[in-house]
A and B are shown apart, each in its own frame.
Chain A
Amino acid sequence: MKVEKKHPLAIRWFHWLNFPVLAVMIWSGIMIYWANGVYHVRGFKFFWDGFYNPSMPQWLPSWFPSSMHGGHRVFWSLDSRLAEGMSWHFLFMWLFAINGLVYVLYLAFSGAWRHILPKRTWIKDSIQAIWDDLPWRKVKQEHREYNGMQRVAYTLVIVMGLGSLLSGIAIYKPMKVYTLDRFFGGYDYARMWHFALTIGFCSFFLVHIVQVVRAGWNNFRGMITGHILVANHEEDRDVA
């Protein structure tokens, strides 16, 4: 066994800063979206109605804390909190944008973009990665380099971040940047994009968590310490 460098300190900071910042953006964003039912998504509306609206039939078990708990609103009741949502959203937007921008600049100048940008063979690589990743195929994953699917996902999430930023600006100042609004299909559609991308981030997050759990402790520790333990069969070869 030997210790090997995996993630530079900067990448770890960008990653762990982005997590709570994006979480606050989504949480406050939902408060803004649910200020009015006009943008509700069928399945989601049911979900949230069940969550917060006491007049709706409660599908949650009775022991689950409701949005109104002992006369106090709990943090996941997101209705009628528009002003609060906007307050948080318009502070954390700066953190989200700056962290994202510095991350992209870091990737560009450090050369780290080479680790995540899909290769020319990305379609074949991605299919191979998904195939190898099927739970019943006991393929030993090589963790030194990102596979085709990871490259696609980690690049796509940057593009999504940019999309959120731009559609966010289009919603924030629609009368000043209406050319940008038109790019998204108008003010209403810019909001749709903004929301769709949020669902995209949530989906990314779910898959990411599952994959991190499957990859195991060594990999997760790598995102904290920046180092992983690897079997040193190469070293053995050198000796031999």
Chain B
Amino acid sequence: MSLEPQAQMRKMSRRSFTWAGIAVLTGFGSLKWLASRRDDAGTGWVFRRVLSSNEGLMRDIFYEHKLVPTFEEKDITPERINGVDGMKGTFDPAAWRLRIEQVDQIAEPIELTLDDLKKMPRTEYITEFCCIEGWSVIQKWAGVLLIDLMEKYPPSTTTGEKPDPRHSPEKLVPYVAMLTPDEAYYVGLEMEAATHPQTLLAYERNGESLLAPDGTVRVSDHGAPLRLIVPVKYGVKNLKRIGTIRYTSDRPKDYWAEQGYDWYDGL
């Protein structure tokens, strides 16, 4: 015998609404659970793992050395200045040296002056600089390609072979750390980003030296005397005053990745 339609509907409603209630509670429970996980560098460990998994996937899916678009002079947009971490104390540009340190500092660090760098092949391009906060600018940069520097002062390999950064970057130690001279700001790059053919150690912006003409630091500046331009990363990775470049086997600490941001920040 079949139930009256109304009674049949009541029965179905009871069952469905019970399930709906369970689903709502599970949903809210899951969100609360997600939001209250043990902290891992400024974010919950679940989020941290998801960020790392996303990184792994993206590094697998995309060709990491794919060239970024370059622009023409007419495309240059007004500058924006954001962040002075690592450039707050007094600084003497004349005493500045770029330090290159090997893994675990097995070899003596190399020290280069700005003039040493300027004697190396100069590269100039116009690229889009993307800030993690959402804005982007198109600017012209000139300097030494990191890959050119690495060819001359290569990191050691994990295999013990002779290093060849341009052709076999996968055999090198996996990371590069960069620190400001005061070590107050620091970023880490995976080797694919460091060996990207457009990763630049810039000493000029829009045709002007990053240092003022008299050799001092500009008041409102974009970093000087040497800064990193790594177009495949958000602006936060584009260290504004490079003091040390360190080749390393361990994932380097990263200023913003310690504060809940993604370590990878790849674009």
Contact = CB atoms under 8 A, between A and B. Distances in A.
Judged by DSSP, the binding face of A is helix
Contacts of A221: 9, 13
Contacts of A38: 133-135
Contacts of B44: 87
Interface in A131-185: 173-176, 178
Contacts of B256: 83
Interface stretch (A57-65, A113-121, A225-233): A225-233
Contacts of A32: 134
B126 interface: no
Given A2-B5, A3-B9, A36 B58 contact: no
Contacts of B132: 35, 82, 86
Nearest to A13: B23
Size range of the chain A interface in the assembly: 20 to 34
B83 to A, nearest CB: 12
B238 interface: no
B20 A35 contact: no
A20 B20 contact: no
Nearest to A178: B69
A99 B11 CA distance: 29
A167 B231 CA distance: 20
Nearest to A221: B13
Contact of B131 (A36, A173, A224, A225): A36
A27 B20 CA distance: 23
Contact of A90 (B8, B31, B51, B134): B51
B13 to A, nearest CB: 5
Contacts of A86: 132, 261-262
23 contacts: A2-B5, A20-B27, A20-B31, A32-B134, A38-B135, A82-B132, A83-B42, A83-B43, A83-B260, A86-B132, A87-B43, A87-B47, A87-B51, A88-B47, A90-B50, A90-B54, A90-B262, A176-B63, A187-B128, A221-B9, A225-B9, A225-B15, A227-B12
Interface of B: 5-6, 8-9, 12-13, 15-17, 20, 23, 27, 31, 34, 42-44, 46-47, 50-51, 54, 58, 62-63, 66, 68-69, 128, 130-136, 231-232, 256, 259-262, 266-267
